[in-house]
Structure 1
Amino acid sequence: MSEWAAKRFWTDATVASEADGHTVRLDGRPVKTPAKAPLVVPTAAMAAAIADEWQAQGDKIDPLSMPVTRGANAAIDRVRPQHADVADMLAEYGDADLLCYRADGPEGLVERQAAAWDPLLDWAAQTLGARLEPRTGIMHAGQDAHALSQLRGAVHALDAFELTAFHDLVSLTGSLVIGFAAERGAHAPETLWAASRIDETWQAELWGEDEEAAAAEDHKRGAFMDAVRFLSLARSH
C-alpha cells in the first residue's frame, strides 16, 4: 500500500527492529517508500521519529508535516542508488563556496562577511585540511586542487542518510564549508544559518523586509533545521 494514500488507514504506528536496521509498522504492516522499497532506517531514534509523524496524522495524510519520513524516503529511493553522483554534485560547491565571494563594499557589509566567514574558512583548513581562499567580487576563480580533493573525499565518506541531510545543509546555504560545520557540530545551527544569510540580512536592513521574501526565508530556515535534526537522528543510538 502506498504510504502517500490520501486517507489514514491505520490506528497505531510502531517501531520494529530489522536485521539491517529499524522500521515502522502501521497496524503491523511495514511502511514502504514511494518506490516500494522497505523503509528501513539506521537508528531506532529515527524510526521512532517517523512513527511519531505517522501517529500524528489526522484523517488525511499531510506529507509536508513528515520531514523525517520524507528524508528517509529520499535516502533510500534517490540518494543510495546514486550516492557517488550526489556526492560529486555537492563537492562541486567547494569551488564556488559562498564564503569565498566577498563584497567590495559598503564597509559594513565587508566587515560583517569577514567576521562571520573568515573563522569558518579557518575551521575548514584546520579540521578538513582544506584551505579555501576568499576573493572580492562574483567572478569565479578556482580553488586549490588539494583542498577540493580533501573536501570531495569527506563528502563521499558520508553514508546515504547522512548525505541526504548534507544535501540540504549545503544547497540551502550555498556553502560546502557551512554544510560541514553543521554536520560536525562546529557551531549552533542558528549561528550557521545566520552566517549564510548575511547578504540577505544586510539588504533587508537597508531596504526593509519584503513579506514574500521573508516567508520564503523562513521556509528555507525550517528546512535547514529539519536537515540538522535528520542528521542527528541518523547518528543516534
Structure 2
Amino acid sequence: MFRSFAKIQRQFGSLLSFCEVCPKKRPLTGGLNYSTATAERKKFYEDVSISQGEGGLYEINLDRRKLKTPGGKLFTVPNEALAIAVATEWDAQRETLKFYTMHLTTLCNTALDNPTHRDKDQMISSALKFLETDTVCYRVDEPHGLVELQKNEWDPVLHWIENRYNVTIGASSSILGPEIPEQTRDTFRQHLNSYNFWSLTGLEFVITQLKSVVLSLGMIDRHLSVEQAVLLSRLEEEYQIRRWGNVEWAHDYDMYELRARTAAGALFVHLSSESSTVKRKLMQD
C-alpha cells in the first residue's frame, strides 16, 4: 500500500527530504508536547495499514489494532494522503518507537484531541500575535555586517509578502518593533480563516517554529523552501556563528531538528487541505 506514497513524494519531495531528525530525545515545542512525546517504547506491531471508516475518514491499523490518540479517541484523518503519510511514520520505526520523530502523528493527535480546547478564532489570534514580534521585522542598528545582512536577506521576503497580500508591515530597529496597521491584521485574519481547523493546527506549529508569520506564509505559498525559511529565521544566529564559531555538533543538530519540525508542519498543512484520494491502479492477477 505504501507505493501510493510515491505520489505524495512527487508533490512534496522538498518538504519530505527534511522530515527526518537526529536520533536524540528532545520534546516538541509549540504546545504539542501534551503527551509523552519524548518517550520511547518497544515496537509492538509488525504491519501498518490504513482503512476507510465511517464518514469517509481514514484510520491507521497496527496489525489488527486501530490506532488511538493520547486522549483515547479513535485516530482518524480526513483524507487518504495524510493517512498514508502518518502510516509511513509508523512503518519507518524499528526496534523502538521514537515518538519524538513522529511529527505528523503528533500534529494529528493535537487536531483530534484539541488539548487546549481552542476554536479557529482563538488559534488565528494566537498565530497573529507573532506578527507583532515577527523575526524579519526586528532589525539591529549594529554591527554593520549584520545590518546589511538583514536588509539583503529579509527585505526581499518582506516586500514579497506585502505585494502578495496587498498589506503594509514594515521593519524597525526600535525595541517596540514596527506598528502593524489594523488593516493588515484584518487581511491576514481573513486569509487564515480560509484554512480548516487541521491546516491551522499545522500552520500555527510552523509559525511557532520560525517565530515568523512572514516566513511561514512564504514557505506555505512555496515562495521559500524549508531550508531557506529556516536559515532566514536563524539569520542573526548564523551570523554570530560564522563570526565566533559554534559548539561542535550542537549547531548542526539544532538546524536539522528545526528543519524536520518545519517541514513536517508545512507538509501537514498541505496534506490536511487535500480533498482527493490517492488513486491506485488496480492490477488483476
Q: Does the pair score TM above 0.5?
A: yes
Structure-1 residue corresponding to 2:5: none
Q: Give 1:207 shift.
A: 1.0
Q: Give 1:202 shift.
A: 0.6
Q: Give 1:232 shift.
A: 3.0
Instruction: Tell me: higher relative CO, structure 1 or 2? Use CA pairs within 8 A at least 6 residues apart.
Output: 2
User: Contact 2:230/2:258 (CA < 8 Å) preserved in 1?
Assistant: no
How far apart, CA to CA, are the structure 1 residues paired with 2:115 and 2:196?
9
Matched, 1:11 2:46: yes
Match of 2:256 among 200, 218, 223: 218
Structure-2 residue corresponding to 1:103: 140
How far apart, CA to CA, are the structure 2 residues paired with 1:156 and 1:235?
13
> Number of residues paired by the alignment?
234
2:263 partner amino acid: M
How far apart, CA to CA, are the structure 2 residues paired with 1:63 and 1:5?
6
Structure-2 residue corresponding to 1:48: 84
Tell me which moved more, 149-158 or 69-78. Answer: 149-158
User: Contact 1:90/1:155 (CA < 8 Å) preserved in 2?
Assistant: no
Query: 1:176-216, CA deviations, whole angstroms, 9 ceiling, x for partnerless residues?
Result: 11111111111222112111111111110111112365133
Tell me which moved more, 76-85 or 135-144. Answer: 76-85
Identity of aligned residues (%): 25
Q: Give 1:33 shift.
A: 0.8
Structure-2 residue corresponding to 1:157: 194
Structure-2 residue corresponding to 1:138: 175
How far apart, CA to CA, are the structure 1 residues paired with 2:184 and 2:72?
40
2:202 partner amino acid: A
Tell me which moved more, 167-176 or 22-31. Answer: 22-31
Match of 2:268 among 204, 207, 230: 230
- What secondary structure does 1:102 align onto? coil
- What secondary structure does 2:114 align onto? helix
- What secondary structure does 1:150 align onto? helix
Structure-2 residue corresponding to 1:123: 160
Change (3 A) 1:60 1:210: closer
How far apart, CA to CA, are the structure 1 residues paired with 2:247 and 2:97?
32
Aligned residue runs from structure 1 range 76-87, under 5 A:
76-78=112-114, 81-83=117-119, 84-87=121-124
- What secondary structure does 1:138 align onto? coil
- What secondary structure does 1:149 align onto? helix
- What secondary structure does 1:69 align onto? helix
TM-score of the aligned structures, taking structure 2 as reference length: 0.74
TM-score of the aligned structures, taking structure 1 as reference length: 0.88
Query: 1:140-162, CA deviations, whole angstroms, 9 ceiling, x for partnerless residues?
Result: 34311111121122223322221
Give RMSD over aligned pairs.
Answer: 2.3
Query: 1:118-164, CA deviations, whole angstroms, 9 ceiling, x for partnerless residues?
Result: 12222222222321011124333431111112112222332222122
Q: Once superposed, which parts of structure 1, at least 4 consecutive aligned residues long, lie more than 6 Å away? A: none
Higher helix proportion, which one?
Answer: 1
Gaps spanning 5+ residues in structure 2: where?
1-38, 277-285
Q: Give 1:38 shift.
A: 2.0
Gaps spanning 5+ residues in structure 1: where?
none
Aligned residue runs from structure 1 range 157-176, under 5 A:
157-176=194-213
Structure-2 residue corresponding to 1:30: 66
- What secondary structure does 1:139 align onto? coil
How far apart, CA to CA, are the structure 1 residues paired with 2:40 and 2:104?
17
